[in-house]
Amino acid sequence: MSATKSYEELHHISKEAKTLEGVIRLLEWDQETYMPKGAQEIRAEQISLLSGLCHEMMTSKRYVHALEKLINIESGEIKESGLKSEQEAALREWRRDLVKATALPTKFVKDFAKLTSEALAVWQQAKNCDDFALFAPYLKRIVEMSHEKASLVGYEKVPYDALLDEYEPGMTSDEVSKLFSSLGTQVKKLLGDITAKSQVETAFLEGDYDKKKQIAFSEEILKALGYPFEYGRLDLSSHPFSTSFHPTDCRITTRISTNNPIDPILATIHEAGHSFYELGLPAHHFGSPLGESISLGMHESQSRFWETRIGQSRPFWRHFLPKLKNLFPDELKDVSIESFYRAINRVKPTLIRVEADEVTYPLHVILRFEMERGIFDGSIPIDQIPDVWNDKMEEYLGIRPTTNREGCLQDIHWAMGGFGYFPAYTLGNLYASHLFIAFEKSHPDWDSRVANGEFAFIRSWLQEKIHAHGRRYRSIELLKRIHEKEFSPEPYLTYLNDKYSDIYQ
Amino acid sequence: MSATKSYEELHHISKEAKTLEGVIRLLEWDQETYMPKGAQEIRAEQISLLSGLCHEMMTSKRYVHALEKLINIESGEIKESGLKSEQEAALREWRRDLVKATALPTKFVKDFAKLTSEALAVWQQAKNCDDFALFAPYLKRIVEMSHEKASLVGYEKVPYDALLDEYEPGMTSDEVSKLFSSLGTQVKKLLGDITAKSQVETAFLEGDYDKKKQIAFSEEILKALGYPFEYGRLDLSSHPFSTSFHPTDCRITTRISTNNPIDPILATIHEAGHSFYELGLPAHHFGSPLGESISLGMHESQSRFWETRIGQSRPFWRHFLPKLKNLFPDELKDVSIESFYRAINRVKPTLIRVEADEVTYPLHVILRFEMERGIFDGSIPIDQIPDVWNDKMEEYLGIRPTTNREGCLQDIHWAMGGFGYFPAYTLGNLYASHLFIAFEKSHPDWDSRVANGEFAFIRSWLQEKIHAHGRRYRSIELLKRIHEKEFSPEPYLTYLNDKYSDIYQ
C-alpha cells in the first residue's frame, strides 16, 4: 500500500472517532441549552458511554496498526517517504494523542466523563445556593482523578504540568510562572496608575435594556461580522460558550442581562471569534490533526482578537454605535463615541472573571493558576479553597468576595475537570498581541475599513494565517512564522500601556 | 451464575445499546428543531455511524452469548427456570429483536441510515419546491433497500409483511386488508350520510390568531394534563412529532399557524399522548423490552386516546373554552360550547392527512396502505405514484390534489424509510376505542372530572393498564386483558356513528 493510501486509511478510522466526539459535544451543548433538568442522570450515562467508545476507537488495534505503518510510535520517526510535510506533522500529532490516550484505561475515561457530567449539575446547584460544601466532594474526586491522570500520562517535574500540556502542548508550569510573574508585576503597576486617576463615566450602561432587542442586536453584529448562520447558531445559556461538531456545525451561546447591554455583545463577539476558528478549519481534513485547532491558548487568541482588538475598538463602535442608538434612543441619546469607547473599556476591579476588563483579567487568571498549582502540590486543601481564593482576590484586586458564588464557585471549569485550562486565557491575549502586530502590517487601513462596517478581511486574514493550518505547527512556532519576533509578554504590555494611557491620560 | 444474575448481565449490555439509540433520537430531534441547515451531511454521517455501532452492540458475540444463556435462540425455548414471567416475556422479545437484527448486516444498517438521513433533507426540499422528480431517485433507492431488508428479515407471504411486522409485531397485510376493507366500506357510508347534511359553521376558527399566545396556550394545556416539563419539552418543527431518549427525557414538537388555533392544540395533545407513553415506561426496565412500547399501533392508540377522546370532547372544552376565550376575546366572543364542539369535530374531506377529521382519517390511511402494497408488489412504479395517489384521493374523498406537495409528498414517512408505518395510525384508533370502553367502565364519571380540569386520573389509568407493562404482551393480547372482547373494528365504528350522528343529527 502506498504511503498516501495508508494515510487515507488512518484518516478514515480517525474520522469515525472525531465524528463521535462531535456527538459528545452536541450532548453537552444540549445539556447547557435545551435539555430538561430531570434528564441529568441519563445524560451523564450517554456522555460516559460515548466517551468510552471514542476512546476505544482511538486506541483500537485497527487504529494503532494503521498509525504504526507510517510512524514509529516509540521513537516518533516517520517510516514512509512520499508524504507531504503537513501530513508528517499530522502523524506526529496523531502519535502524541495516541501516547496520551493509551496512558488512560477506557474505564478511567468513562468514569471521569461520568463524574464531570454529574459534577457539572452539582456545581450549578452549589453556585445557585452559594454552597461550596455541596460541590466540595465532587471537586475533591475530580482533583484525585486528575492526579491519577497526571501519573498515567506522565510529566517531567510536577503533576500539574501533565494537565497544562493538554491545553497548551509543550508548555510547562515553570514557563507559565515566568511569563505570569513579569506580566503580573507590570499589570499591577498599570492598575495602580489607573485607579489613581479619575473614574470613567459608565452610568448610561446601567439602564433597563430590553432583552429581545439585545439578542437581535447580537445577531445583527454576527451577521455583519460574516458569521455564517447556515453553519452555526446563537442560543442562550447561563455561561456563554462556543462548541463545534464539525466545520459545518459550530454553535455559540451568550447570556443577556437587562442592566448592561455591552457585556453580552462582547461575549457574543468573543464566542464568534472561537467559532470562526472552528468554521475556518479545513473540512476535508476533518478527523485528522490538520482539521483541528492547535491549542486552547491559540483558540483564545482568536476570541480575544475579535473581542478586544475589534469589538472594543473605536472604529468598531463608529460603525455600530449609531445602530445601537437606533435601538435604544432614550438610553443612549447623549452618549458620544468617545465617552462610549471609554465606558466599554473602563478599568474597574470586579470579583467576576468574565466581567473583568482587559487590565484586571490577567490578575484573575494568575490567581487561578496559583490556586491550581497549590491544589495540586497539596499546599491548598479543598476545604480551604474559599478562604485562600478570597485572600488572593483581596491582595491582587483590592476587593474580597462575600459569597463563594462570586468567589471560587464562579467558574464552570473545575466542574468540567478542566484543571490546567485557565492559563490559556492569558496566553491567548499574549498570542493575540503578537498576531495583531502582523495583522496591522498587512492591513494598515484596518481601522477605517472596520469603521465602514467591513469585517470579512479580518476573518480571511486569520483563516489564512491560523485556521487553515490545523495542528500543523505548535502555537509559538506558528506565531514566529507570522510575526517573526520571539514570543514574550511585551507586545501585550505595550498594547495595554498605550491603550489605557490614552483612555486614562 | 443464577438466572437472575444472567438476566442482569444481559440487561446491562442491552442498556448500553438502548442508551446509544437514545443519542440517535437526540441527533434526529436536533435535526428537526435547531440544527443549522448546512450541517445536513455531517449529521447523516453521525447518525449512520451511531446506528452501525448500536447494531454491532445488539448483535455482538458478548450480547448473543448473554442471551443464549437464558433462551434458545433457534427454538425460543427458555433455558433457565427461576425467572419471573415478565422476564421470560422480555427474553422472547429480545430474541425476536436479535433474529431481526442479525438478519441485517451492519453495512446495510449504516447505509440505510445514511440514505434516509439524506432523503429526509431532499424530501423537505422537494416538498418545498413541489418537485416529486427531485425526491423520486431517493424514494426508489429506499424502496429497493426495503425490499432487500424484507428478503433479509424474511416473511411468509409478501415482502411488505416484513415491513408491517416491524411496526405492529405479528400483523400481516392480509389481516390489515380485512380490517381495512370492512372499515373503509362503513366509513365511506358514514361520510356519504354526513356530506348530505348541512355544513357545520367554522368561520370563527379562521381568524388571525397570535402565534405566541397559541404556544402559551398549548403549554398551559400540557401543564393541566400533567405533562412533566422536568422530563420533557415543547418545541416547534415543520411536522409535529414526539421522541424519547429515556423516560426522563421525552420531547414533543408542534407547529403553529395563525389562521387556525385548534389544529396546533390538538397536535400538541396528540404528541403529549405519545410522550405520556414513553414517560410512563418503567425507568428501572430501561434498556430491556419491559422498558419499551409494544408497537407503533399501541403508541398511536395513546396519542389518539388523548387527542380525540379527551381533546375533542365536550367536557374538555367546557373546561378550556373559557380560558381560550380569555386569550382571544374578540375572535371567540360569540361562540357557544356547542358550536365550538361541532366546529372542532367538523367533517370535511381535506387533501392533507394530518389535517383530516376522525371520519376521513381512516380513508387517508387506507389510501397509503394500498399505495404501499402496490409499490411493493410492483404494480405501482415510482414515477406513477403522483397520478395513482391523486386518482385514489378523488375516488375515496372526492377531491384531487393539484400539487404533489398536497399529494404524495405531504408525509415524512417514506423519506424516513418508514414503509409499513401508516396502517398503525388506524390500528391506533381501533385500539383506542377498545381501551375507551374499559376506561369508561373504570371511570364512569370521567366527563364531569375532565370538565372540572382533572386529568391526572386518565394518565394514571393508561399508565397502569398499558405503559407499566412495556413489551410484556402483544397489542391484541393486552387489549383482551383490559377489555375482554375480541378485537374488531366495531367499537371504533360504533363510536364514530354515535358521535357524528349526534353532531350531524
Closest CB to A36 among B19, B46, B233:
B233
The radius of gyration computed from the CA coordinates of chain A, to the nearest angstrom, equals 23
pLDDT given for residue A340 in this prediction: 95
Chain A hits for B30, Cβ within 8 Å:
26, 30
Q: Write out the catalytic residue numbers of A.
A: 271
Question: According to the model, what pLDDT value does residue A207 have?
Answer: 79
Alpha-carbon distance A12 to A14, whole Å?
5
Residue A150 lies in a domain: no
Give the model's confidence band at A49: pLDDT under 50 very low, under 70 low, under 90 confident, else very high: very high
Q: What is the pLDDT of residue B257?
A: 80
Separation between Cα atoms, residue B27 and residue B48, nearest integer Å = 11
Percent of chain A topping pLDDT 90: 88
- Beta-bridged to residue A249, according to DSSP, are A246
Q: What are phi and psi of B252, to 5 degrees?
A: -125, 155
A38–B251: do the CB atoms touch at under 8 Å?
Answer: no
**Three-state DSSP string of A450-492:** HHCCCCHHHHHHHHHHCHHHCCCCCHHHHHHHHHCCCCCCHHH
Counted residue by residue, chain B has a size of 505
pLDDT digits (tens, 9 = 90+) for A269-286: 999 999 999 999 999 999
The runs of H, that is alpha helices, within A34-80 are 40-59, 61-68
Best of A25, A45, A279, A284 to disrupt the B interface (most B CBs within 10 Å) is A45
pLDDT for the residue B198: 77
Check whether residue A363 and residue A424 sit in a common domain. Answer: yes
Q: Residue B78: beta bridge partners?
A: B71
Domain-located, residue A160 = no
C-alpha cell at B501: 350522528
Residues B30 and B108 in one domain: yes
From first CA to last CA, the distance across chain A in angstroms is 67
CB A246 within 8 Å of CB A289: no
Q: In this structure, is residue B387 part of a structural domain?
A: yes
Q: Which residues of A283-313 are buried (b: 16+ CB within 10 A; e: fewer)?
A: eebbbbbbbbbbbbbbbbbbbbbbbbbbbbb
Residue B334 burial (C-beta neighbours within 10 Å; 0-12, 13-18, 19+) = exposed
| In-domain check, residue A10 | yes
Host H or E run for residue B138: helix B132-153
3-state secondary structure of B409: coil
CB of A22 less than 8 A from some CB of B? yes
C-alpha to C-alpha distance for A325 and A321, rounded to whole angstroms: 6
Q: Any idea what DSSP says for residue A242? A: E
- What gap in Å lies between CA A433 and CA A438, rounded to an integer? 9
Q: What is the DSSP letter of A71?
A: B
Strands of the sheet containing B242-246, edge to edge, are B232-236, B249-254, B242-246
What is the distance of C-alpha B204 from the center of its chain? 30
Q: Do B330 and B248 lie in a common domain? A: yes
User: Is it the case that residue A1 has pLDDT exceeding 80?
Assistant: no
Contact check, Cβ <8 Å, B249/A35: yes
Question: Phi then psi for B400, rounded to 5 degrees?
Answer: -125, 125
Which residue matches cell numbers 488572593? Answer: A392
Q: Give the C-alpha separation, B375 to B371, whole Å.
A: 6
Residue B354, amino acid: V
Answer whether residue A256 shows pLDDT above 90. Answer: no
CA–chain centroid gap for A329, Å, is: 34
Residue of B24, B35, B46, B48 to mutate for A, most A C-beta atoms under 10 A: B46
Taking only the tens place, the pLDDT of each residue in B237-295 is 988 999 999 999 999 999 888 778 898 999 999 999 999 999 999 999 999 999 999 99
Judged by DSSP in three states, B233 sits in: strand
Residue B140 sits in which domain range? 3-154
| Three-class HEC string of A335-381 | CCHHHHHHHHCCCCCCCCHHHCCCCCHHHHHHHHHHHHHHHHHCCCC
Q: What is the pLDDT of residues A225-241, one digit of tens each?
A: 999 999 999 999 988 99
Report the candidate in B464, B462, B467, B487 with the shortest Cα–Cα distance to residue B477: B487
What is the mean pLDDT of the segment spanning A468-478? Answer: 96
Length of chain A: 505
User: pLDDT of B354-395, one tens digit each?
Assistant: 889 999 999 999 999 999 999 999 999 999 999 999 999 999
Averaged pLDDT in 10-residue chunks for chain B of 505 residues: 92 97 97 96 94 92 96 94 95 95 87 91 95 97 97 93 94 94 94 87 85 94 97 93 98 88 93 98 98 97 98 98 94 92 94 92 97 96 97 95 97 95 96 97 98 97 98 95 90 96 90
In a domain, B161, yes or no: no
**Closest Cα in chain A to B45:** A19
Judged by a CB distance cut-off of 8 A, whether residue A251 touches chain B is yes
Query: Would you say residue A309 lies in a domain?
Result: yes
Query: Is A163 within a domain?
Result: no
B458 in the same domain as B321: yes
Given the DSSP bridges, would you call strands B242-246 and A249-254 parallel, antiparallel or unpaired?
unpaired
Q: Does A377 touch chain B (CB under 8 A)?
A: no
Domain edge (last residue) among B105, B126, B154 = B154
Boundary of a domain, candidates A77, A112, A131? A131
The number of domains in chain A is 2
Give CA–CA dist A504/B366, Å, rounded: 79
List the Cα angle B268/B467/B433 in 5-degree steps. Answer: 65
pLDDT computed for residue B196 by the predictor: 87
* Whether B223 and B332 share a structural domain: yes
Test A38 with B245 for CB contact under 8 angstroms: no
| Residues A114 and A183 occupy one common structural domain | no
The position carrying cell 390534489 is B401
CA distance A33 to A29: 6
pLDDT at A198 exceeding the cut of 80: no
Number of Cβ pairs < 8 A linking chain A and chain B: 94
- A249-254 β-sheet, strand order: A232-236, A249-254, A242-246
Q: How far is A290 from chain B (nearest CA, A)?
A: 18
For residues B49 and B82, membership in a common domain is answered with yes
- For residue A72, the SS3 value is coil
Give the span between the Cα atoms of B408 and B375, in whole angstroms.
Answer: 13
Helix/strand/coil percentages in chain B, nearest 5: 70, 5, 30
Specify the CATH number for the domain of residue B311: 1.10.1370.30
Contact criterion met (CB < 8 Å) for B36 and A249: yes
| Whether B282 and B409 share a structural domain | yes
- Chain B interface includes A231 (CB < 8 A): yes
A212 contacts chain B (CB < 8 A): no
Q: Let me know whether A117 and A179 are in one domain.
A: no
CA-nearest of A48, A96, A332, A344 to A201 is A344
Q: Quote the percentage of chain A above a pLDDT of 70.
A: 100
* CB-based burial label for A81 (10 Å; 0-12, 13-18, 19+): exposed
Report yes or no: A336 and A205 within 8 Å, Cβ to Cβ.
no
Q: A248 vs chain B: nearest CA distance in angstroms?
A: 5
Residue B56: what residue type? E
**H-state helical runs in A197-284:** 211-225, 262-280
The verdict on A37 touching B (C-beta cutoff 8 Å) is: yes
Dump pLDDT digits (tens) for A289-331.
999 999 999 999 999 999 999 999 999 999 999 999 999 998 8
* Per-residue H/E/C for B111-131: HHHHHHHHHHHHHHHHHHHCC
CB B386 within 8 A of CB B404: yes
CB neighbourhood size of A169 (10 A): 17
Residue A249: closest CA among chain B residues belongs to which residue? Answer: B39
pLDDT of residue B54: 93
Catalytic site residue from B21, B28, B168, B271:
B271
CA distances in angstroms from B436 to A104, A291, A500, B442, listed in the order given: 57, 58, 75, 10
Q: What is the mean pLDDT of residues A378-393?
A: 97
Domain-ending residue, one of A105, A131, A157: A131
* Spatial CA neighbour of B108 closest among B504, A29, B100, B239: B100
Cα distance between residue A387 and residue B221, in whole Å:
49
How many of the other CB atoms lie within 10 Å of CB of B141?
A: 17
Alpha-carbon distance A221 to A331, whole Å? 19
How many Cβ atoms are within 10 Å of B128's Cβ, its own excluded? 12
The pLDDT of residue A251 is 98
Q: Is A448 exposed, middle or buried (0-12, 13-18, 19+ CB in 10 A)?
A: exposed
For an interface test with A, the pick among B33, B42, B242 (most A C-beta atoms closer than 10 Å) comes out as B42
- CA dist., res. B465 & res. B435, Å (int): 9
Q: Percent of chain B, pLDDT > 90?
A: 88
Residue A110: the pLDDT is: 82
Assigned domain for B162 exists: no
Q: ipTM of the predicted structure?
A: 0.91
Of A411, A439, A173, A450, nearest in space to A301 by CA: A439
Angle, CA B307 vertex, CA B187 and CA B284 arms, to 5°: 125
Cβ within 8 Å, pair A248-B34: no
Q: For A233, which of B36, B46, B249 is closest by C-beta distance?
A: B36
Q: What is the pLDDT of residue A260?
A: 82
* Residue of B23, B37, B231 lying closest to A230 (CB–CB): B37
Strands A242-246 and B232-236: unpaired
Q: Read off the C-alpha cell for A370.
A: 496559583
Q: Write down the mean pLDDT value for chain B.
A: 95
Query: Measured between CA atoms, how close is A217 to chain B, in angstroms?
Result: 20
Same domain, A226 and A305: yes
The Cα of A46 is separated from the nearest Cα of chain B by a number of Å equal to: 6
Q: How far is A193 from chain B (nearest CA, A)?
A: 48
Asked if A340 and A218 count as a contact pair (C-beta separation under 8 A), the reply is no
Task: Report the DSSP beta bridge partners of residue A242.
Answer: A252
- On whether any CB of chain A is under 8 Å from the CB of B53, the answer is yes
Query: Average model confidence (pLDDT) for chain A?
Result: 94
| Position A113 confidence tier, pLDDT thresholds 50, 70, 90 | confident
Quote the pLDDT of residue B448.
98
Interface check A230 vs B, CB under 8 A: yes
Nearest to B39 among A16, A23, A248 (CB): A248
Examine the domain organization and report whether B382 and B290 are in the same domain.
yes
H-helix or E-strand containing A245?
Answer: strand A242-246
Q: Which of B22, B36, B42 comes nearest A230 by C-beta?
A: B36
In chain A, residues with a C-beta closer than 8 Å to the C-beta of B46 are: 19-20, 22-23, 245
CA distance A341 to A319: 12
Q: Is B267 exposed, middle or buried (0-12, 13-18, 19+ CB in 10 A)?
A: buried
Question: Quick one: A178 and A110 in the same domain?
Answer: no
The structure's pTM equals 0.91
